[in-house]
Chain A
Amino acid sequence: MRDRVTFRISDPVILALAFSLAVFGVAMIYSAGELDVPSSVTGIWQKQAIWLAISLAAFAAVLRVSVGWLEWIAPAAYAAAILGLLAVLVVGSGAGPRSWIRLGAIGFQPSEFAKLATILMLGRLVAGRERPPDSLWDLWPYLTVVLLPVALIIAEPDLGTASVFVAILIAALYWSGLSVSKLVLFLSPLVSLALAFSTPLWGVWFLLVVGFLYWTRSYLTETLAVILANVAMGVVVLPAWRSLASYQKTRILAFVSPEADPQGAGWHLIQSQVAIGSGGWFGKGFTLGTQKRLAFLPEQHTDFIVAVVGEELGFIGICLLLLAFAVLLWRILLIAERASDRFAAMVVFGIFACWFAHVVANVGMTVGLLPITGLPLVFLSYGGSFLLVSFISLAIIQRVCAEEKSGA
């Protein structure tokens, strides 16, 4: 029975989509290296193809690991991830943020593994409770599990990756069954943070929160905590802004007004939009994008790979890509919904949240909907660690699905 469970691909559609996206990614990375000028990106697709082979092997291996064993190993994996993040701060390398650990020729990013480890740990927390958390105080374990890696990643500093952890935390709280009103109160400090730039707006929001607290008859301590957190966010944000690294400030400012600094971060966004916009319906043809060929596109093999797709394959290509991701995520959610095990369901939903955050942040930034966070696109962007972790996550999803079907 065990072998039957292990090797059955229970959702071939998900696997086919993921595999197709990864192969498509290798093709686009090949195109990203086809430039009219010398580029370090040329030939890099071969590395990605090797990583894809390694990832498929890892997929096959992880498929044999039972969900129960995963739940047992979760604390150890989490501890290892935290150690990895600490190690990166000591011996890490990388341009800009120090997010890499090099072992000979191979470099990997502990933060990618930390995402999965954190999701597993959250799964254990959710599984450990019979009832949904019903007060904000019940959320301390969740917060601790997520904010520990977040703090270490912000120290690298890598704001983009840290924000993915926040998305995972919100998803976990949503999935834990926390009531909507509590969720709103829990998230209210984030809204305060966003509104801190305008005192009147923040004031209105603050009054709304106070009114809501009264209406929901929250505990006194809870009320005080929410009010304090909102005040802190509304007041703390300006000093925090000053502590940001200059490239982070530039990125955020460039999002607010991309035309203001055409050679800086805004330049990336403008060139990305020009590439995508000039693609039109059908694009300029595979490998033929001029923006890319003449090196106007920055990070065309990682952060801005969607811009290459948009320029060379046009709106049609983009729509097919978006459709593939939508179906993939939709089917993952179905597996999460139908899972009869709380741990399994939480892990699958957590992986969904992580990928959804990556896709939206990455695709959104290339067309100017979201700030430039430097988050890679799942399965497509160049990067071995992320591809490997993505296929390991895919194996877990398949395993959950398989166990569900065989157990039912």
Chain B
Amino acid sequence: MSVHGHLPQTHQRPRGRLARWLVLLVFCGLAIQFFRVQILKHTTYALRSDVNRIRALPIPAARGTIYDRSGRVVADNVPGYSIAILPLSIDSLRVVLDVLAPILGQSEEKVESLISAYRRHPNSPVTVESDATFAEVSAIEERRATLPSGIVIQAAPKRRYPAGPVAAHVVGYVGEISDTELRLAEFQGYEPGRTVGLTGVERVYERILAGVPGTRYVEVNALGRLVGAFRGRETVAAVPGRDLYLNIDLGLQELAAQLFPDTMAGAIVALEPNSGAVLAMYSAPSYDPNTFVGGVEPAEWRALNEDPGRPLFNRAVSAGYAPGSTFKLVMAAIALSGGYAEAETKMPIPCRGALLYYGRVFKDWKPSGHGSLDLNGAIRESCDVYFYQLGLRIGLEEVLARAPEFGFGRPTGVDLPSEISGSFPPSLAWYDERYGRDGWTNSVVLNLAIGQGENVQSPLKMAQYYGALASDGRQPTPRVARDGPVAEPAGRLPLDEEQLAVLRAALVEVVNAPGGTARGSRLSRWTLAGKTGTAQNPHGEDHAWFIGFAPAEDPAIVVAAVVEAGGHGSSAAAPIVSRLIDYYLETLETEQAGVEVAGG
């Protein structure tokens, strides 16, 4: 039988048969699995295969232009390029970044931050440079063949701030959205990598200015390299953002920046009293918002953040200063409205340079004293001894209770981010809590009366209060944008027209009458009214305040200025305010003349 003599074994046939059935069984099993994957789950996998090869690339929308009140450009766009990567993995991203970093001049730190951004959002394209120069783009294009795949260069409008540091704090700047911001309600629906307004008007009016980015669909391979446009889905065009007009007068803003002493810190706020329109707002030291366009290098960001002058900080709305003597007008208003004093009311103790209260000496700023003054004279000469006694007459409890009626202890509601609410003790219990029941005495009212003590206000808040004094007592919410959403209804000072007139008359005397603290800053063509302030500064020279408005008969502008460590309000702050008001009223006059000529 057998060719070689090894006889077949008896089990050979049944075991072979069994093996054949095993083959059949296993192949049926494989076929069933293929049926499950290819037929039953076909829809899922077909979708996956499409998703696999199609990437949605955002088309950036051009932001709306920001204009000042007369149509001068505050922020606009210029053509630019953005460079993004569609990475597959951390490793492939690192390879691409290692090649790109020298071309784009990016630091190791920046590369690391991009990698961690990818780690957090692995499905979004990584924007390496949202403001690439033409030279950088050409350098990349030249080396395209040797560069790793997945680099996308596209035209992206780039923000430009022609006014630079002059309007930095008002306008703010744009930058790539951070993870913290992505979680905020105001940025709901935003995707990582978007350029958004990070502060100032750019941030508050983000939804108006931003527009809606479009989407284009591209086909990519497994390496992330673009194969071409995907024809299966229409490109969605970007909708440009809307333009925004501000109440800011760029000319006034420029003058404010120019007048402010170069080496000093502080803030200037100019408002239109009747409308609350913010005409100018300057915070010193300032910064150039153009630095932030396209992302700021970490080292540069640190330098700005760690600068002891804190240039990024908008002192006009975010800094709290003791209001000093400018607060005397609040005391006077409380006294008038509560019937504690009239314009001619004198205090029992005439000013001899200090007041002795329960064994403690409370000094007047003028060592020789002011003699016996009425309310009008006390405001004019800023007599501390008078206001000590006025504070005692009104009583601490009443002062604390009435201040909120004049708008203190809450923010103005201006359309800018990070406004502080200021602080003013809300009640006697607050003192108990802070110092203990026996840790403080009634004498705190003496300090409050002259704008010291636990009283901290922003320049904007004080400007708003003086604006209300300048107009009919209404306190409209300050507005930087002219056509932003309608502000909340204006508050109102609890003062009648007669009482307002008393206060205004005193403020006119401050600047114009002999003995007035700001007589040096009076204007020839207009009646300037205002109040100086010198706030004690525990860290050095006093902070100088001046808040003024003009023309006193029908005020068109109110300006508050604080010069940190500037010394006396009359010398450091009042001249700035006086010149700004002069400039503004003159411009206004020219404009009106122009309108009349055109109309006639």
B221 touches A294 (CB 8 A): yes
Q: Give B33's nearest chain A residue, CB to CB.
A: A367
| B residues near A344, Cβ cutoff 8 Å | 3-4
Nearest-CB distance from B552 to chain A (Å)? 73
Asked if A322 CB lies within 8 Å of chain B CBs, one says yes
Binary per-residue interface labels of chain A (1-36) against chain B in the complex, 1 for a CB within 8 Å, 0 otherwise:
000000000000000000000000000000000011
Residues of B contacting A: mostly: helix
Q: How far does the Cβ of A365 sit from chain B's closest Cβ, in whole Å?
A: 11
7 contacts between A and B (CB under 8 A): A132-B11, A271-B222, A276-B45, A277-B38, A277-B41, A295-B223, A342-B8
Q: How far is the CA of A293 from the CA of B127 in the complex (A)?
A: 27
B30: contacting residue among A294, A352, A369, CB under 8 A? A369
Query: Interface readout for A268-288 with B: 1 if CB under 8 Å, 0 if not?
Result: 000101111111110000000
The chain A residue with its CB closest to the CB of B48 is A274
A277 interface neighbour in B4, B17, B48, Cβ under 8 Å: B48
Q: B183 at interface (Cβ–Cβ under 8 A)?
A: no
* A264 (CB) vs chain B CBs: closest residue: B89
The number of chain A residues with a CB under 8 A from chain B is 61
Per-position 1/0 for B217-240, Cβ under 8 A of A:
001111101010000000000000
Asked if A329 is at the interface of the complex by the 8 Å CB criterion, the answer is yes
Interface contact B88-A296, CB-CB below 8 Å = no
Q: Which residue of B lies closest to A277 (CB)?
A: B45
Is A78's beta carbon under 8 Å from chain B? no
Residue of B nearest to A339 (CB): B8
A360 touches B26 (CB 8 A): yes
> Which of B27, B37, B52 interacts with A296 by CB under 8 Å?
B52
A263 close to B88 (CB less than 8 A): yes
Q: Are B16 and A337 in contact (CB under 8 A)?
A: yes
8 closest residue pairs by CB, A with B: A277-B45, A337-B16, A278-B49, A342-B6, A294-B221, A295-B222, A315-B38, A296-B222
The answer to whether A295 touches B221, judged by C-beta atoms less than 8 angstroms apart, is: yes
Number of interface residues of B (CB under 8 A): 48
Complex Cα spacing A171 to B16, Å: 11
Distance in Å from the Cβ of A231 to the closest Cβ of chain B?
30
Whether A156 is near chain B, meaning CB under 8 Å from some CB there, is no
Contact pick for B49, options A263, A275, A325, A349, CB 8 Å: A275
B24 within 8 A of A: yes
- Whether B52 lies near A294 (C-beta < 8 A) is yes
B42 pairs with A278, CB closer than 8 A: yes
Q: Does A127 contact B (CB under 8 A)?
A: yes
Residues of B within 8 A of A369 (CB): 29-30, 33
Considering the complex, give the chain A residue whose CB is closest to the CB of B42.
Answer: A280
Closest to B24 in A: A326
Closest to A337 in B: B16
Other-chain residue from B11, B26, B37 in contact with A276 (beta carbon distance below 8 A)? B37
Q: Which chain B residues in 194-226 approach chain A with CB under 8 Å? A: 219-223, 225
Chain A residues with Cβ below 8 Å from B7 are 340, 342
Asked if A71 CB lies within 8 Å of chain B CBs, one says yes
User: Which residues of chain B come closer than 8 Å to A35, judged between CB atoms?
Assistant: 221
Q: Tell whether A279 pairs with B38 under 8 Å between CB atoms, given A330-B23, A349-B16.
A: yes
B47-64 interface code vs A (CB 8 A; 1 in, 0 out) = 011001100000000000
B144 CB–A CB distance under 8 Å: no
CB < 8 Å neighbour of B6 from A278, A322, A343, A360: A343
Residues of B within 8 A of A177 (CB): 9, 11, 15
On whether the beta carbons of B27 and A325 are closer than 8 Å, the reply is yes
Is A219 close to B, CB under 8 A? Answer: no
- Give every chain B residue within 8 A of A364 (Cβ-Cβ): 30, 33
User: Is B46 on the interface with A (CB-CB < 8 A)?
Assistant: yes
- 19 other A-B residue contacts (CB within 8 Å) besides A280-B38, A295-B221, A315-B35: A67-B3, A276-B45, A277-B38, A277-B45, A278-B48, A296-B222, A322-B27, A330-B20, A333-B16, A333-B20, A337-B16, A340-B7, A341-B3, A341-B4, A341-B8, A342-B6, A342-B8, A349-B19, A356-B26
Shortest CB-to-CB span from B15 to chain A, Å, is: 6
Q: A37-B227, A274-B45, A275-B49 are in contact. Are A315 and B34 (CB under 8 A)?
A: yes
Q: Which residues 308-344 in A have Cβ within 8 Å of B in the complex?
A: 310, 314-315, 318-319, 322, 325-326, 329-330, 333-334, 336-344
Bound CA span A290–B6, Å:
55
Q: State which of B3, B17, B30, B37 has its C-beta within 8 Å of the C-beta of A360.
A: B30
Given contacts A345-B8, A360-B26, contact A281 B38 (CB under 8 A): yes
Is residue A197 contacting chain B, with contact meaning CB distance below 8 A? no
What distance in Å separates the Cβ of B6 from its nearest Cβ neighbour in chain A?
4
- Cβ-neighbour of B37 out of A277, A319, A338 (below 8 A): A277
Q: Is A214 an interface residue (CB 8 A)?
A: no
Chain B residue contacts of A339, Cβ below 8 A: 8, 12
Closest to A363 in B: B30
For the complex, is A108 an interface residue (Cβ under 8 Å from B)? no
Q: State A278–B1 Cα separation when bound (angstroms).
A: 54
CB of A334 within 8 A of CB of B2, answer no
- B residues sitting closer than 8 Å to A (CB atoms) are 1-9, 11-13, 15-17, 19-20, 23-24, 26-27, 29-31, 33-35, 37-39, 41-42, 44-46, 48-49, 52-53, 88-89, 219-223, 225, 227
State in angstroms the CA–CA spacing of A345 and B1 once bound together. Answer: 14
A315 to chain B: closest residue by CB: B38
Q: Report the nearest B residue to A275, measured CB to CB.
A: B49
Q: Is the CB of A281 within 8 A of B39?
A: yes
Which B residues lie within 8 Å of A273 (CB)?
37, 45
Cβ B9 vs Cβ A132 within 8 A:
yes
> Which of B2, B37, B52, B221 neighbours the largest number of chain A CB atoms within 10 Å of its CB?
B37
**Which residues from B are CB-within-8-Å of A333?**
16, 19-20, 23
Give A363 to B15 CA distance when docked, in angstroms. 25
Quick one: CB contact mask for A155-182 with B, threshold 8 Å, 1 for yes?
0000000000000000000110100000
Residues of chain A with a CB closer than 8 A to B16's CB: 333-334, 336-337, 349
Q: Smallest distance from the beta carbon of A299 to chain B beta carbons, Å?
A: 12
* Contacts known (A337-B17, A367-B33); A403 close to B3, Cβ less than 8 A: yes
In this assembly, does A68 line the interface, its C-beta being within 8 Å of a C-beta of chain B?
A: yes
- Tell whether, in the assembled complex, residue A294 and residue B23 are in contact, meaning their CB atoms are under 8 Å apart: no
The answer, yes or no, to whether A398 is at the interface (CB within 8 Å) is: no
| B23/A276 in contact, CB under 8 A | no
**Chain A residues in 8 Å Cβ range of B225:** 37
Within 8 A of B (CB), among A241-280: 263, 271, 273-280
Q: Let me know if A341 and B42 touch, CB within 8 A.
A: no
A277 touching B3, Cβ below 8 Å: no
Residues of B within 8 A of A275 (CB): 49
A48 contacts B by Cβ under 8 Å: no
- The smallest C-beta distance from B97 to any residue of chain A, in angstroms, reads 18
In the bound assembly, the distance between CA atoms of A271 and B45 in angstroms comes to: 10
CB distance from B19 to the nearest CB of A (A): 5
A330–B24 alpha-carbon span in the complex (Å):
8
Q: Residue-by-residue, is A361-399 near B (CB-CB < 8 Å gives 1, otherwise 0)?
A: 001100111000000000000000000000000000000
- Contact in complex: B39, A315 (CB < 8 Å): yes
Q: CA of A396 to CA of B6 in the docked complex: distance in angstroms?
A: 17
B457: min CB distance to chain A, Å: 57
Partner of A37, one of B4, B5, B24, B223: B223
**Contact: B37 with A37, CB < 8 Å?**
no
Beta-carbon contact of B19 and A340 below 8 Å? no
Q: How far is the CA of A310 from the CA of B227 in the complex (A)?
A: 23
Question: Bound complex: CA of A293 vs CA of B49, how far in Å?
Answer: 12
Cβ B89 vs Cβ A174 within 8 A: no
A369 to B30, CA, bound (A): 8
B38 to A340, Cβ gap below 8 A? no
Residues of A within 8 A of B17 (CB): 337
Task: Tell me, yes or no, whether A291 is within 8 Å of chain B by CB.
Answer: yes
CB distance from B385 to the nearest CB of A (A): 78
Could you say which residues of chain B place their CB within 8 Å of the CB of A330?
20, 23-24
B52 and A291 contact, CB distance less than 8 A: yes
A318 to B34, CA, bound (A): 8
Are A290 and B49 in contact, CB atoms less than 8 angstroms apart?
Answer: yes
**B46 to A278, Cβ gap below 8 A?**
yes
| B residues in contact with A407, CB < 8 Å | 1-3
CA distance A190 to B7 in the complex (A): 32
